[in-house]
A and B are shown apart, each in its own frame.
Chain A
Amino acid sequence: MANAVQAAELLRQEFAAVVLEATVAQGAPLLRVKSDQVPLIAHYLHTKPELRGSLSLLWAVDHRPRESRYELCYLFTLAERKDWLLLCTDLQGEDRIFKSLTPHIHAAKWYEREIRDLFGLIPVGHPDMRRLVRHEHWPKGAHPLKKDFGWNTILERAQGMYAFRHIEGEGVFEVPVGPIHAGIIEPGHFRFSVAGEPIMQLEVRHFWKHRGVEKLFEQRPLLEGAPLAERISGDTTVGHSLAYCQAVESLLRITVPRRARYLRSFFLELERLHNHLGDVGAICNDTAYALAHAHCSRMKERMMQLNDRLTGSRFLRGVNCVGGVGIDLTGEQLAQTVAELDSFEPDFTELEKILFANASLTDRLETTGILTDRTAWDHAVMGVVGRASGVDRDIRRDHPFAAYDELQPKVALYRYGDVRARMRVRMDEIHESMRLIREVRRRIPQGPVVAQPTGEPTPGTWALSAVEGWRGEILYFVMAGENGKIHRCKVRDPSFVNWPAIQWAVLGNIIPDFPLINKSFNLSYAGNDL
Chain B
Amino acid sequence: MFRILKKSLKTGVVTGRHPEAKQPAERPASESREKAAPFKKSLAIREVDTGSCNACEMEMNALTNPVYDIERFGIHIAASPRHADALVVTGPVTVNMEHPLKDVYKQTPDPKLVIALGDCAINCGVFKGSYAVTGPVDRHIPVDVRIPGCPPRPAEILKALSELREAER
Give the interface of A toward B (CB within 8 A).
135, 137-138, 144, 149-155, 179-180, 182-187, 207-213, 215-216, 227-228, 231-235, 237, 278, 291, 294-295, 297-298, 300-301, 304-305, 308, 314-315, 317, 347, 350-351, 353-354, 357, 524-526
Contacts and interface: CB of A to CB of B under 8 A. Distances in A.
A434 B56 CA distance: 26
Contacts of A295: 7, 11
Contacts of B81: 180
A211 B79 CA distance: 26
B7 A297 contact: no
Contacts, number: 162
B147 interface: no
Nearest to A135: B96
A211 B132 contact: yes
Nearest to A304: B62
A295 B67 CA distance: 10
B66 A210 contact: no
Contact of A315 (B48, B55, B91, B99): B55
A233 B53 contact: yes
Given A210-B95, A237-B55, A149 B131 contact: yes
B49 A228 contact: no
Contacts of A208: 51, 94, 96-97, 100
Contacts of B11: 295, 298, 347
Contact of A184 (B14, B47, B94, B131): B47
Contacts of B77: 183-184
Interface in B147-169: 150-151, 153
A526 B64 CA distance: 22
Contacts of A317: 150
B42 interface: no
A298 B65 contact: yes
A138 B91 contact: no
Nearest to A281: B65
Q: How many interface residues does chain B have, given as a range?
A: 35 or more
Given A187-B100, A228-B126, A301 B67 contact: yes
A297 B62 CA distance: 8
A211 B127 contact: yes
A314 B153 contact: yes
Given A231-B55, A234-B53, 6 more contacts: A138-B95, A211-B130, A211-B133, A215-B132, A234-B54, A354-B4
A84 B33 CA distance: 59
B60 interface: yes
A231 B127 CA distance: 9
Contact of A294 (B56, B66, B80): B66
B96 A151 contact: no
A154 B57 CA distance: 28
26 contacts: A135-B96, A144-B131, A153-B131, A155-B132, A180-B100, A183-B79, A184-B57, A185-B49, A186-B52, A209-B50, A209-B51, A210-B96, A212-B133, A215-B132, A216-B130, A228-B126, A231-B53, A235-B55, A297-B64, A300-B62, A301-B62, A308-B19, A351-B7, A354-B7, A526-B51, A526-B54
B143 interface: no
Contacts of A227: 126
A525 B58 CA distance: 13
Given A208-B97, A211-B51, A298-B65, A186 B57 contact: yes
Given A305-B18, A314-B153, A186 B49 contact: yes
Interface of B: 3-4, 7-8, 11, 14, 18-19, 47-62, 64-68, 77, 79-81, 91-92, 94-97, 99-100, 104, 125-127, 129-133, 150-151, 153
B9 to A, nearest CB: 12
Contacts of B99: 137
Nearest to A314: B153
B79 A152 contact: no
Given A234-B151, A301-B67, A305-B19, A179 B95 contact: no
- Ranked nearest first, the 8 interchain pairs of A and B with the lowest CB-CB distance are A234-B55, A297-B65, A182-B79, A212-B132, A234-B53, A212-B130, A231-B53, A209-B51
B130 A152 contact: yes
A304 B104 CA distance: 32
A305 B8 CA distance: 21
A298 B129 CA distance: 38
Q: Which of B79, B91, B131, B153 has the most CB of A within 10 A?
A: B131
A329 B150 CA distance: 23
Contacts of B129: 151-152
A186 B54 contact: yes
Nearest to A186: B49
A223 B56 CA distance: 26
Contacts of B64: 184, 297
Contact of A209 (B62, B65, B91, B125): B91
A347 to B, nearest CB: 8
Contacts of B67: 297-298, 301
Given A155-B131, A211-B130, A297-B66, A180 B7 contact: no
Contacts of B96: 135, 137, 207-210
A231 B125 contact: yes
A245 B49 CA distance: 28
B3 A357 contact: yes
Contacts of A232: 53
A308 B126 CA distance: 22
Nearest to A525: B54
